[in-house]
Structure 1
């Protein structure tokens, strides 16, 4: 039996491995590069590269790759062998500092949103030493950034690192004004990953799953999740074996995979890691999704990471647990043991409340996609309206602070602020509200709107940046006060902020119609679709925010808006084409065949003087919607010939014209499926997929 402690992180070029392979003086410089953000001195680059190569080859590696995250949202890699020729039939394994630090992949086929023309194919990868290199399948993977010739970010990771710097700068500035000696903060994230497992053979019989990741057709199963009997249930042996392999692969790569269980829907599961630094959490979540899918095939499964694979069945999300600590390891989102620490907690809380209120649109944009639109607002995911849940106790305390009155606590354990005019704060008095998009859960915020296949860099980039902005504003205001008035000034800032931004705080049922009406009265945004949300990306206030903190320059943000709008349109067009193909080639021929058999039965019975009311009713129930389906398919094919003039028009066209028609076609086809013999239906149905996958 393998002992995890012995092999955890064995495929990672960790500090432990660096210390073995690097001279001591260079090892110490390398640690400073990683921990303090110092630049790698050019004179040691060759030594580091050679040590990394030796370590990787000792692990069996023959190639290396700069591993990056282009704006496709997934990872990209180009593999090069370590070998260099030394003669006609001889080679030497070599890896130099210049190859470690910078690569030059062809950038022409990656989305750029206009950041470079197609004929300007050059793109550069730059080593990110703050994320550990690792070996996987005989290749050394080097985490990198990806930029264009002029330095514009062509990837998801560069803006994330910029936002980490922005939040660090603002937080350190404010904390030091508050009397702390803080040199650096550490932003942590723990992304809980949901996914579906289905049988590979059934998957391969459904073109919609293979092409789009979701079922475009499917009548409801006889049993769904009504009994709540799947959640936290006993794990099937075949699935358990799969999970064990996933854990082992992740543990070798240093991923803190810890919790796994059945989720609410049939065939749905969750894997949750221990929190780690945001940059590493981002890379590790990309690895987690890859390994979930790769291991599945070895067990006869397919892992679905689409946000909504099955209509009427819960989709999959990703809960982004976000917080940050000081260099002393103190969580600033946790009430402390002193009045000063509690005021720090309230100040940080106020800044987050203000940021979420002022930048609701950006948080909604950060999770926007064609797939996630199917999921948000159902009884499985938060609504598209952004709000903050703080728990009843903390909400009541903040209301008392806002109103300048004393708060009468309900429980015994309290935290003091050292100011008699303020209430005492109860520790750990928050419950969970599953309908809240952004919930405070004790010492962190849980951003619950992310879809399961989303790259977590964008939500965290935006979250870091908006909080950086609010902390920066607080610090600028505090600089006007003498030290002896700092506490009073902070309390004033907190009280004013709560009064001005309390509309974003909501503790009730986010699914209710009453909340939608209340949210509208409060002036909160309800951006129902990606087409509604994305055009706000480049609103003047957002352009100014990102430029101020050097996270995105205006041209980089415009590019991302264009890329996301185009992706939304193209995803829906691909789904529409797949739908038409499946209808024309598979579903309609099967229906015609079944209708012919029914008609023959009816005719035979009548020729014998026997009435056939049941067969006639079934035939009518099939043929009536079938005629409408035929007309709708013709119309959908016509609509696909339309060429919208701009990305925004294309997204709007997909949302307003294509999707409603596709939904109508699906509803009618699913009705027909209920009346067609199972032996005649050409696709594995929901009963097959959801309940026979583990047999």
Structure 2
């Protein structure tokens, strides 16, 4: 039964309303100060908060609690404990202490550490993050936490994200103080748009590639794809609309501001977009959103696919990271106002972002690097692997005028034409460029390179820290200035001139852009194995160490984990491909050749023309032989993986194994178009993408 949204929203969250109702005033105020200002948590309040949280959870039907954290696997992890405590006389009590709230000790031995600890050093710790509200999921109180090894090294994605938020807050507050504003806290905010596919559960169960890898390793194009552009924003099918309605209800319960939903470009592809939140909470909520998407899809007979490229030949799925910066009073520091050319505060922060993207374009590329996203970036459906910044016509004109040292003359706003009954609408001078990796869209930047399955923490760690470094340098310089206005103007002009190469308002899909970007000196890291070795370049290590986000050891561990994940992903895909070819596709093809041959022989016996069967049998037999040759080559490539470091192994999988997989797939997809549908051993793209 549906409830009014205001009543439903946050009903399963121990949020501000529940805290205010259940906590003593002094405890509530202390906790709110921690949440608002990032001040240290007073341990004395922990027992009081824990008891109130437990009572609230029990009233909602919860029986267990868990420290909900984000290990380096990219998904969330949880170990459940009940509130049950033995009492005298064989009775039981439901208890939850401050110690249990603040700290947990999950076994850390099976989580990737990238060499930070030995396997036998199993102990790990989780620590409560009070800035992200606890919530109830599946009758379990979920407490968002950070995760580290027993020696203190960070093993999760939340901790460095919180550190990066501290870094950008610290440096932004310094700069704002010079501008006459006393801020205690500056926060970055994010609204991550989430793309996904829905397919029938019955079809999914018949595709081992989807089950084991999340994407189709085979599949000839359907007769119809997205050519007619009739799916994007089209009428939502009733089954899908029922799923979306159910998903909204589940997300609203746990405090996710699910706002927008629509069909995306590819058939069976859709999108959900939330309202922006503080980056830390937005990250938690996006992880929760992906989990609930899968769970709710199952209830409706669907499987939700979050892989970046589940189907070849149609658009893949991304995740647009709408990023901005706000003060503790709610002022958006990327809001240009009515006269952006005269808005010194806006121009300083805009320049800081442009400088950061240019100087750390490699880190931003690394933050979206994965085996899945490599299939998507630059494929005329997503931004290219080259970083560039789109600022639109008006801001582009302002920055060009600053560079040339002249006043900006604003052009008259273009009016959109229409029928007389329609209201006049001015053309948006900052309208987004869909081919831009990093586009300014009015009062925020939209980082569009993220893959749909990714944890958004990675991209925002890089972005926060890089911008913090720009702001640090600006504050260092301007704190020494006698004339702040003059010094600011010179700084903005110098930095815009120095980093104008990263500004590009054109078509990022055009091949000419690749040539131009190279001439500008921009990096083009086309694949994950090409990008990841730059993670530990000295300038990047210096950046993270300077701002206290990572230690050198923590960076090296993440580099190794991601390289190993890339190689393991391709190994699983290749082995799955070999298995499906050997056990499913080759037998189906051989069987059909046998049937054709028998029919041809029978016709010959009675003197009937058998040209059709003979031709088909010969063609199919030759194509089957090609597939056997290429699957054998793929097996050989898998047997010859060199015994080298993680970077060398990842590059081998990219150069040798992936190439062998593509050759085998081409043969299999050719055969699919030759074998009767009744004999093909798996649902086709027509089945998967065009259901009713």
Same topology, TM > 0.5: yes
When structure 1 is superposed on structure 2, of 212-221 and 608-617 the one drifting more is 608-617
Aligned to 2:618: 620
Q: How far did 1:487 drift? A: 1.0
Aligned to 1:471: 471
Specify which of 572, 578, 581 is matched with residue 579 of structure 2: 581
Write the distance in 1 (CA, Å) between the matches of 2:228 and 2:107: 52
Aligned to 1:421: none
Q: In structure 2, the residue corresponding to 1:508 is in which secondary structure?
A: coil
Aligned to 1:675: 674
Write the distance in 1 (CA, Å) between the matches of 2:683 and 2:104: 46
Alpha-carbon distance change, 408 to 35 in structure 1, aligned in 2, over 3 angstroms: closer
Q: Contact 1:644–1:653 at 8 Å: present in 2 too?
A: no
Q: How far did 1:481 drift? A: 0.7
Alpha-carbon distance change, 625 to 102 in structure 1, aligned in 2, over 3 angstroms: same
Write the distance in 2 (CA, Å) between the matches of 1:633 and 1:609: 39
Aligned to 2:16: 15
Q: In structure 2, the residue corresponding to 1:194 is in which secondary structure?
A: strand
Write the distance in 2 (CA, Å) between the matches of 1:392 and 1:618: 58
Alpha-carbon distance change, 227 to 337 in structure 1, aligned in 2, over 3 angstroms: closer
Q: In structure 1, the residue corresponding to 2:146 is in which secondary structure?
A: strand
Q: Contact 2:319–2:450 at 8 Å: present in 1 too?
A: yes
Q: In structure 1, the residue corresponding to 2:343 is in which secondary structure?
A: helix
Aligned to 2:421: none
Write the distance in 2 (CA, Å) between the matches of 1:65 and 1:409: 56
Write the distance in 2 (CA, Å) between the matches of 1:367 and 1:187: 19
Aligned to 1:522: 520
Write the distance in 2 (CA, Å) between the matches of 1:455 and 1:320: 11
Per-residue displacement from partner, 1:293-322 (whole Å, max 9, x unpaired)? 000111100000000000001111000000
Q: Contact 2:318–2:449 at 8 Å: present in 1 too?
A: yes
Per-residue displacement from partner, 1:423-471 (whole Å, max 9, x unpaired)? xxx9952122111100000100000000001000000000000000001
Write the distance in 1 (CA, Å) between the matches of 2:668 and 2:527: 24
Normalised TM-score (structure 1): 0.96
Aligned to 2:420: none
In the TM superposition, what are the counterparts of 1:24-103 in structure 2 within 5 Å?
A: 24-87=25-88, 89-103=90-104
Q: Contact 1:351–1:470 at 8 Å: present in 2 too?
A: yes
Aligned to 2:423: none
Specify which of 596, 604, 619 is matched with residue 594 of structure 2: 596
Q: Where does the alignment leave 5 or more consecutive residues of structure 1 unmatched?
A: 414-425
Q: In structure 2, the residue corresponding to 1:490 is in which secondary structure?
A: helix
Aligned to 1:691: 690
Write the distance in 2 (CA, Å) between the matches of 1:34 and 1:506: 38
In the TM superposition, what are the counterparts of 1:550-589 in structure 2 within 5 Å?
A: 550-589=548-587
Write the distance in 2 (CA, Å) between the matches of 1:307 and 1:450: 9
Q: In structure 2, the residue corresponding to 1:196 is in which secondary structure?
A: strand
Alpha-carbon distance change, 113 to 88 in structure 1, aligned in 2, over 3 angstroms: farther
Q: Contact 1:335–1:341 at 8 Å: present in 2 too?
A: no
Alpha-carbon distance change, 280 to 524 in structure 1, aligned in 2, over 3 angstroms: same
Write the distance in 1 (CA, Å) between the matches of 2:621 and 2:390: 50
Write the distance in 1 (CA, Å) between the matches of 2:606 and 2:492: 87
Q: In structure 1, the residue corresponding to 2:577 is in which secondary structure?
A: helix
Q: How far did 1:488 drift? A: 1.1
Write the distance in 2 (CA, Å) between the matches of 1:297 and 1:412: 49
Q: Contact 1:260–1:270 at 8 Å: present in 2 too?
A: yes
Aligned to 1:354: 355
Write the distance in 2 (CA, Å) between the matches of 1:319 and 1:34: 26
Aligned to 2:417: none
Q: How far did 1:137 drift? A: 1.2
Aligned to 1:461: 461
Q: How far did 1:104 drift? A: 0.3
CA RMSD of aligned residues (A): 1.5
Aligned to 2:650: 651
Specify which of 480, 484, 495 is matched with residue 486 of structure 1: 484
Q: How far did 1:619 drift? A: 2.5
When structure 1 is superposed on structure 2, of 605-614 and 362-371 the one drifting more is 605-614
Aligned to 1:416: none
1:509 aligns with 2:507: yes
Aligned to 1:423: none
When structure 1 is superposed on structure 2, of 79-88 and 12-21 the one drifting more is 79-88
Q: How far did 1:604 drift? A: 2.4
Q: Contact 2:256–2:274 at 8 Å: present in 1 too?
A: yes
> How many residues are matched?
679
Q: In structure 1, the residue corresponding to 2:87 is in which secondary structure?
A: strand
Q: How far did 1:89 drift? A: 2.4
In the TM superposition, what are the counterparts of 1:159-238 in structure 2 within 5 Å?
A: 159-238=160-239
Write the distance in 1 (CA, Å) between the matches of 2:15 and 2:480: 45
Aligned to 2:603: 605
Write the distance in 2 (CA, Å) between the matches of 1:58 and 1:241: 29
Aligned to 2:143: 142
1:392 aligns with 2:386: no
Q: In structure 1, the residue corresponding to 2:126 is in which secondary structure?
A: strand
Q: Contact 1:231–1:265 at 8 Å: present in 2 too?
A: yes
When structure 1 is superposed on structure 2, of 395-404 and 187-196 the one drifting more is 395-404
When structure 1 is superposed on structure 2, of 460-469 and 601-610 the one drifting more is 601-610
Q: Contact 2:340–2:346 at 8 Å: present in 1 too?
A: no
Normalised TM-score (structure 2): 0.96
Write the distance in 2 (CA, Å) between the matches of 1:438 and 1:361: 13
Q: How far did 1:684 drift? A: 0.4
Q: How far did 1:643 drift? A: 4.4
Q: Contact 2:190–2:278 at 8 Å: present in 1 too?
A: yes
Aligned to 1:422: none
Write the distance in 2 (CA, Å) between the matches of 1:329 and 1:539: 36
Aligned to 1:445: 445
Aligned to 1:420: none
Write the distance in 2 (CA, Å) between the matches of 1:168 and 1:112: 29
